Structure 1
Amino acid sequence: MTPSTGSGPTRTSNRPQRGQGQWALGYREPLNPNERMKKDADGLTVRQRILDIYSKTGFDGIDPSDLRGRMRWMGLYTQRAQGIPGGKTAVLEPEELEDSYFMLRVRIDGGALTSDQLRTIAGISTEFGRDVADVTDRQNVQLHWIRIEDVPEIWRRLEAVGLSTTEACGDTPRVMLNCPLAGLLEEEVVDATDVLAKTVAKYVGSPEFSNLPRKWKTSMSGCADHCTNHEINDVSFVGVLDDYGQAGYDLWVGGGLSTNPKLAERIGVFVRPDQVTDVWAAVTSIFRDYGYRRQRNHARMKFLMADWGPEKFRQVLEDEYLHHELPDGPAPEPARHDQRDHVGVMKQKDGANALGFALRTGRISGTLLTRVADLADEHGRGRIRATAQQKLVVLDVPDERVEGLISALDHLDLQVRPSAFRRGTMACTGLEFCKLAIVETKQHAQELYGELEKRLPDFDESITINVNGCPNSCARFQTADIGFKGSMVRDDSGEMVEGFQVHLGGHLGIEAAFGRKFRGHKVTKAETADYCERVLRGYLDRRAPGETFASYVARAEEAWLL
């Protein structure tokens, strides 16, 4: 979609015109190396060079602008070279940090997988990726240790079962989130499966949106538990019922975390299901045309929304892009449950059951993924879903097979009935593979929840503990009950060691808020279990009846939380 050309673009920002590099205001000159790279060649063009050239020349033959830029449009990032400590992250140049292997992100829109698809991903992990796989908090699966020479064969296998890595990364429409139980639960407001599939089919991989100012995160869901976290996506369509009982969507825009977290805002319109794809394209076009391109750290939708506000955004959306008004609409109902992860046994409306289970902070192996695919065939109908909380769900399990599947999964240390700590702990990729990370996360998070299970075996409340390797918040530390942001910290001897800044009491939903932090308060990696135990015991001792941890933190004296 393009803006109306009747009267030319209207000045919409209070910032200096030339300073932000907005296309709609006539400024298309590249203003930073990333914009120059995209202008020189669309990111989507790298696919053919990978097939024809780089897979034959090997890593050393890759053009640097492709290697550290356009490769992302095909879901490929160079991974961190092994053995480089976190203290070197901000010191070394990219070529000094990177290994000759890639992280490959498999795009799984809506988290929907068949057993054949999961088995294919698993086989790639085992054969080409040293049997390592990560289920992410955006319903993707990430593989590691991938050689560029193997990418054409990996793509061939993925595409043969209907999967892709196209625009899994880069300044593009990333994977689109949907409830993993879409279409299955009685309490669902609306099933977003079809509108999401239509949008993906029409626009993912299209040059129309292959050059956005930055990443573009989408959610379309009618989940009664709000499991796709619409409050922190760039654009979200949230299931609602209008005054006549018609199911549709409430539009939210401008959420995001990283170093400048911001909650999305309601635009206040009701979007019918048949309008969703066009409205999504219009919102995305606004980001493409009016988004700030001068500085990378200022190029997300949340910054434009902060300047415009929802009223201005709605006016531009309707007048310049849709060319018609949208009716006012209701806000979503509050989430039915505090936990949004779909872990446990859930009754489907057809009488079968969905079984959601916790991995080890998203980390799994190709070997285990193969077993999950086999179990989904054996106990269900071969349908698996990934959640936005690093979990997996097996669908369509008859009542008489529920306990057998729970037992089989538990034998693999995949828990349908995990402890509060196992269930609530997430971790980003961390220092093991990520070039931005400062601390190791995956193994530490696993050790942390294991230690808390021993120390607080009777802990009886839901709790989220999110462990992040750097300030970029891939594991959403600002929205966790206990959020750890990786940094270098001085220990008691004065030595710089891996550690974390602590954020407490973050939560989404009603009165959503980011975590509370305290000036200068950090803990070393070795101290995290002691710290969590101390703070959680204080909560158990002082909580009011029915009081959540986040509510307790909001009223707590600072001394209770240090």
Structure 2
Amino acid sequence: MNAVPPAAAGAPARPARPARAARPQGQWAVDGTAPLNHNEQFKQDDPALNVRRRVEEVYAKEGFASIDPDDLRGRLRWWGLYTQRKPGIDGGRTAQLEPHELEDEYFMMRVRVDGGALTTEQLRVVAGVSTEFARGTADISDRQNVQLHWVRIEDVPEIWRRLEAVGLWTTEACGDCPRVILGSPVAGVAADELLDPTPQIEEIQRRWIGDPELANLPRKFKSAITGHPSQDVVHEINDVSFVAVEHPELGLGYDLFVGGGLSTTARLASRLGAFVRPDEVPEVWHAVVQVFRDYGYRRLRNKARLKFLLADWGAERFRQVLQDEYLHRALPDGPPPPPPVGSGDHVGVHPQKDGRRYVGVAPSVGRVSGEVLAGVADLAEAHGSHRVRLTPHQKLVVLDVPADEVEEVVDGLAALGLEARPNLFRRTTMACTGIEYCKLAIVETKATATRAAAELDERLADVQAGLPAPVRLHVNGCPNSCARIQTADIGLKGQLVAGDDGEQVPGFQVHLGGGLASADREEAGLGRTVRGLKVTADDLVEYVERVVRRYDAGRDGDETFATWAHRVDEEELR
């Protein structure tokens, strides 16, 4: 890897390098590049992107048993592949078994969809891969990717061939590298858009995704760019985000956020107070990644995200290092984004710049199938559309619908199980993969959340229309927060809890009152936990109904659920 570049002539003096810690943290710019754990060792022994050749030349021909362990549980991630959970292993054994005991001889494959942008041709190819190689499975993730299951190593080269023939790939969809770039799902089409970030996303893709210089980061690196006033890319929980703002002197550009992330130690991103012109976004993105590469902590995996560096450095120091050592110039100060306007999930029918409409629909917690995706492609094309988008909220959007054909498209999507006018909990409930496929999970999530949303919409039908803002329910199968539990109104973290007879049963710890900036919430905030507040999976619906009714009865006017949940006594939340 390149050493940290010196400051350019005329740039502000670079701050003194921090002294080497008594115990090295694996910061390349401070401690050198000697690996301090096995994960860092295997990445240096053989760069992870090299594994593709072995997949094509060895593993696909000789089968699962031929895969080297460091490739199987390490390098294959850089090509979007994780082994999935072996069926029949209950959640109580998740932490007791070794990886080889938990994993099946099949893979989850993540198809990278930067900005969530797909043509109907691409969607049809993904649908075909699902049907032919993944037992029909397909989930829309909250990172705008499509996740497939039951993939055999023998079929991976052919899947790559089909995806890449239409401009899709799995490159760096997982691993310690720049993951998919979240982008506004309605970039370039929404009538109320401020800026279209598509050119910047495409330039980052072209120049740096798959670049060996950025393929060995301390941990994963998540990015987001939006020019939409709804701020629809969950920018507060990404490693780097660019959010459209209007500078009073420099015009439209982006405000820069750095160091967000959830998992077991949640942290909202820091505003650097820097204004970035649209044409500067790729350069600034690249510089932030390099800061993470060179200064991120590598000794302990659970401290290796950029958020830990921001927590120690603070925004001011991070900005100074970014400018002095990587950009070699100062960024102008800029204003913060205004409060969000509109719904960031884009569900419903909305106007485009060209007079046509886009139609956003809610699958049930992101779960679709190859058959459904093929049906969406057919329906869109039948109405003259050739573009769809995936959202960071597990939703799907069909673009370019003629205004006089909207109802036909809405009805056709509904026939596929995709609702453009869903009830409250169908719309707002999200769920991670859960114990069905994930080796880290403790409880089942997708089916549990689907049933809960349906029952809650029926039980709370009398309340929903009168609520001042949606109540968002997120269900996660373990503590790692892939379903963003700390930023939901009601977030459920999967664990085993005591049942009525004292036995251990699937259940959840409850987080209440979290949320990201939205039209009904000016500032992001993390949810509140109440000591001992846990609920079994069987009692989930009753609990959520009870707490929502208490909120509706006790709220102060248009007070949101989050404000109420942080205000009331703990007993109100039980």
Displacement of 1:2: 5.1
Secondary structure in structure 2 of the residue aligned to 1:103: strand
TM-fit CA distance, 1:463: 1.5
Does structure 2 conserve the Cα–Cα contact (< 8 Å) formed by 1:105 and 1:141?
yes
Aligned to 1:557: 569
Q: 1:373 aligns with which of 370, 377, 385?
A: 377
How far is 1:244 from its partner?
2.6
Amino acid at match of 2:201: L
Q: Does 1:230 align with 2:231?
A: no
In 2: Cα distance, 1:310 partner to 1:444 partner: 40
3-state secondary structure, aligned to 1:219: strand
Distance 1:155 1:357, change over 3 A: same
* Alignment match, 2:413: 409
What secondary structure is seen at the aligned counterpart in 1 of 2:349?
strand
The alpha-carbon deviation at position 18 of structure 1 amounts to: 3.9
Partner of 1:5: 6
SS of structure 2 residue aligned to 1:320: helix
Partner of residue 265, structure 1: 270
- 8 A contact 2:232–2:392 mirrored in 1: yes
Alignment correspondent of 1:419: 423
The CA deviation string for residues 30-68 of structure 1, in whole angstroms up to 9 with x for no partner, is 111110110111110001100000000100000000000
Pairing 1:217–2:222 present: yes
* 2:105 counterpart (76, 100, 104): 100
Q: By how many angstroms is 1:13 displaced?
A: 5.6
- Residue 545 of structure 2 aligns to a residue whose secondary structure is helix
Displacement of 1:333: 1.0
Classify 1:85/1:242 alpha carbon distance in 2 versus 1 (closer, same or farther; 3 Å).
same
Aligned equivalents of 1:39, 1:393: Cα separation in 2:
41
For 1:120, the equivalent position in structure 2 comes to: 125
Residue 318 of structure 2 corresponds to 313
Instruction: List gaps (5 residues or longer) in structure 2.
Output: none
Residue 148 of structure 2 corresponds to residue 143 of structure 1:
yes
**Contact 2:365-2:450 within 8 A present in 1 as well:** yes
Counterpart of 2:79, as a letter, is M
Matched residues in 2 for 1:471 and 1:92: separation? 17
**Number of the residue aligned with 2:357:** 353
Supply the AA of the counterpart residue of 1:496.
Q
Structure 1 residue aligned with 2:486, among 478, 491, 494? 478
Cα drift, residue 187 of structure 1: 2.1
Q: SS where residue 517 of structure 1 aligns?
A: strand
RMSD value, Cα: 1.4
Shift of 1:457: 1.3
Match in the other structure for 2:54: 49
Instruction: Indicate the residue corresponding to 2:554 in structure 1.
Output: 542
Aligned partner of residue 398 in structure 2, secondary structure: strand
Structure 2 residue corresponding to 1:501, chosen from 499, 504, 509: 509
Equivalent in the alignment of 1:489:
497
1:186 Cα deviation after fit? 2.8
Residue type matched to 1:415 in 2?
E
Aligned length: 561
Question: 2:167 is matched with which residue?
Answer: 162
| Identity score, percent | 57
2:456–2:541 CA contact under 8 A, matched in 1: yes
TM-score (normalizing by structure 1): 0.98
Q: Secondary structure at the match of 1:449?
A: helix
Counterpart check, 1:342 vs 2:324: no
User: What is the DSSP-based 3-state SS (H/G/I as helix, E as strand, rest coil) of the residue aligned with 1:540?
Assistant: helix
The residue that corresponds to 1:255 in the other structure is: 260
Query: Do residues 186 (structure 1) and 191 (structure 2) align?
Result: yes
Find the partner of 2:535 among 488, 510, 523: 523
Deviation at 1:380, TM superposition (A): 3.6
SS of match in other structure, 2:532: coil
Match of 1:512 in 2: 524
Structure 1 residue 11: Cα displacement: 5.5
Q: Decide whether aligned partners of structure 1 residues 291 and 382 sit closer, same or farther in structure 2, where only a CA change above 3 A counts.
A: same
Q: Which residue of 1 aligns with 2:288?
A: 283
Q: Distance in 2 between matches of 1:235 and 1:454?
A: 40
Take 2:392 and 2:334, find their aligned partners in 1: how far apart are those partners? Answer: 26
Look up the match of 1:90.
Answer: 95
Cα distance in 1 for partners of 2:554, 2:397 equals 36
Cα distance in structure 1, aligned partners of 2:6 and 2:283:
19
1:109 aligns with 2:111: no
Q: 1:52-67 maps to which residues of 2 (within 5 A)?
A: 52-67=57-72
Q: Structure 1 residues 11, 96: closer, same or farther in 2, change over 3 A?
A: farther
Q: Deviations over 1:402-454 (max 9, x none)?
A: 00111111112210000010000000000000000000000000000011012
Find out whether 1:433 has 2:434 as its counterpart: no
TM-score, normalization by structure 2: 0.96
Per the TM alignment, residue 492 of structure 1 is displaced from its structure 2 partner at its CA by: 1.1
Contact 1:380 1:395 in 2 (8 A): no
Q: Is residue 20–residue 30 contact of structure 2 (8 Å, CA) maintained in 1?
A: no
Q: Aligned-pair distance for 1:273?
A: 1.2
Pick which of 23-32 and 217-226 moved more.
23-32
Deviates more, 1:66-75 or 1:25-34: 25-34
Q: Which runs of 5+ in 1 are unaligned?
A: none
Task: Determine if the alignment matches structure 1 residue 243 to structure 2 residue 248.
Answer: yes
Greater displacement, 180-189 / 41-50: 180-189
Aligned 8 A contact 2:361 2:418 in 1? yes
